[in-house]
Amino acid sequence: MASERNGGDKERSGEKTNGAGLLFVPPEVKFTKLFINGRFVDAASGRAFETRDPRTGDVIATVAEGDKEDVELAVRAARKAFDHGEWPRMSGSERGRIMTRFADLVEQHADELAALESLDAGKHPAVTKAVDIANAVESLRYFAGAADKIHGETLKMQGQFQAYTLREPLGVAGFIIPWNFPSTMFAIKVAPALAAGCTMVVKPAEQTPLSALYFANLAKQARIPDGVINVVTGFGPTAGAALASHMEVDMISFTGSTEVGRLIMEASARSNLKPVSLELGGKSPLIIFDDADLDMAVELAVSANLFNKGEACIAASRVYVQEGIYDKFENKLAERMKSWIVGDPFSDPRVSQGPQACASTPTLVDKTQYERVLSYIDHGKKEGATVLTGGNPLVQKGYYIEPTIFTDVKDFALQHLYYLSDLGGTFAAQEGMTIAKEEIFGPVMCLMKFKTVEEAIERANDTKYGLGAGVVTRDLDVANQVVRSVRAGVVWVNCYFAMSSDVPFGGRKMSGFGKDEGMHALDKYLALKSVVTPLRGSPWM
């Protein structure tokens, strides 16, 4: 992906230098067709769509546009592989060996995958390799080790009977994955399904289709049988909707917006009542108490908001700071943001390597998301919030926005009831600001002040979401009180974004249900069957 060069060399055709002696060679896009039943094929309609580099808007590649007919072919292949193929009938240890080989191949091609995903999603290639691709490898290896550890239970029944349970592969799984972490999301859904013995159809996001197709090729090389993994690239309203409503798909796992999650649940209910696992939006709180290490708390708040350009459902976009350190925190945060860099990691030497790779904001994924984030920033300004830092787009090619920190933000718990005498003594509530209520999915932080533990907990819970939360304190009693009171799927204490394949991840409320990662993730892909047999002496014997 990069190599050392002498500073005086001329730039070679098709290669981009970052001015710091590093060379980025855009990867060759090798796979642009649908992957069905072990082969790369054109869409049945012959249509294709463009995937673009969000740094420039330039076309990276033209990709096959699958729709309902292609989904039908992919599901048919997955159904045949499940009903008659070897994968569900293979021993867990053998599936694990093949999955380990798959993980090894992903690791061997990490540079190419990272470069491909960085171009497609506007990510920093070094961070993509260290985080996204490494997470994919870890998930595949973790569930490879779990494949031969799927067991039922022996049950003691009343009367002259004995019983046991079997945990069997559920069938054909449908996966609809988002554009913010394409490789990670591919692996954390595919890996447990493979371990369970399921077959599957994957619909990657139309903004970032390239890595899923590359993974499909590596799965073929790993000798995962044909039909077990199928990838249909295309758009949500066509390919995604066809997958969610298909009668021969036995479950759907979706990561994305709450609005689309509702549509997927409706499609499931209208078709075959397939179970659905949803990992949806978030508006996660980070609560910082007076006794926190100030420097650490500032760094934590910055990384919890701006990692991956803020394009993370778990981002801590509501930061609550206790009043005793609020002013110092705000000043230090504003000073810290002076060293934050917004720019192209492929051409800007300040963000090309070292620690600055994680202290930078590359481009947002596409124009739609760029305009969405700018509209929220505009809402914040119009509704009376104060811009502490940022707040503007960058005038250059690509979809760059300055990381934006708002103060004077009114959230849900700051709603006050006003006595309106002219309405006969009724009460009316003052609305919280839009930026404090809705998921922005970009580099925007809401900074707010609180007094007591109880107030912080109340305000943290006053949201329709329940994906994650963080607490920063040296007081174990305070930490425990918050952990046990905040309604969220994961709570971090004195850290954030600490995730691993052995830790379940998923939300509550309108952040969805079902767990990715951890042994609990296997439950989605296994059917529990009870078996009862009579004992000697039973009337049935």
| Enzyme catalytic residues | 279
- The helix/strand/coil state of 138 is helix
> How many whole angstroms separate alpha carbon 32 and alpha carbon 216?
11
> How many whole angstroms separate alpha carbon 277 and alpha carbon 255?
8
DSSP 203-232: E--TTS-HHHHHHHHHHHHTTPPTTSEEE-
Around Cβ 494, how many Cβ atoms within 10 Å? Answer: 16
> How many whole angstroms separate alpha carbon 190 and alpha carbon 401?
33
- The helix/strand/coil state of 348 is coil
| Residue 498 zone, left/alpha/beta (φ > 0; ψ -120 to 50; rest) | beta
**413: nearest Cα among 381, 438, 436, 388:** 436
8 Å CB contact between 308 and 276: no
DSSP count for the chain of H helices, then E strands: 15, 28
> How many whole angstroms separate alpha carbon 362 and alpha carbon 359?
10
**466: nearest Cα among 285, 259, 262, 282:** 282
Residue length of the chain: 541
**303: nearest Cα among 266, 357, 224:** 357
> How many whole angstroms separate alpha carbon 196 and alpha carbon 90?
10
DSSP 302-339: HHHHHGGGG--TT---EEEEEHHHHHHHHHHHHHHGGG
Please calculate the CA angle 527-533-535 and round it to the nearest 5 degrees. 150
Around Cβ 384, how many Cβ atoms within 10 Å? Answer: 11
Please state whether beta strands 444-450 and 426-429 pair in parallel, antiparallel, or not at all (unpaired): unpaired
> How many whole angstroms separate alpha carbon 87 and alpha carbon 212?
20
> How many whole angstroms separate alpha carbon 515 and alpha carbon 518?
8
92-108 and 210-221 helices, crossing angle to 10°? 130
Show the tokens assigned to 187.
């692996």
Please state whether beta strands 386-389 and 404-407 pair in parallel, antiparallel, or not at all (unpaired): antiparallel
φ, ψ for residue 129, nearest 5 deg:
-65, -45
Alpha-carbon dihedral angle through residues 393, 397, 398, 401, given to the nearest 10 degrees: -20
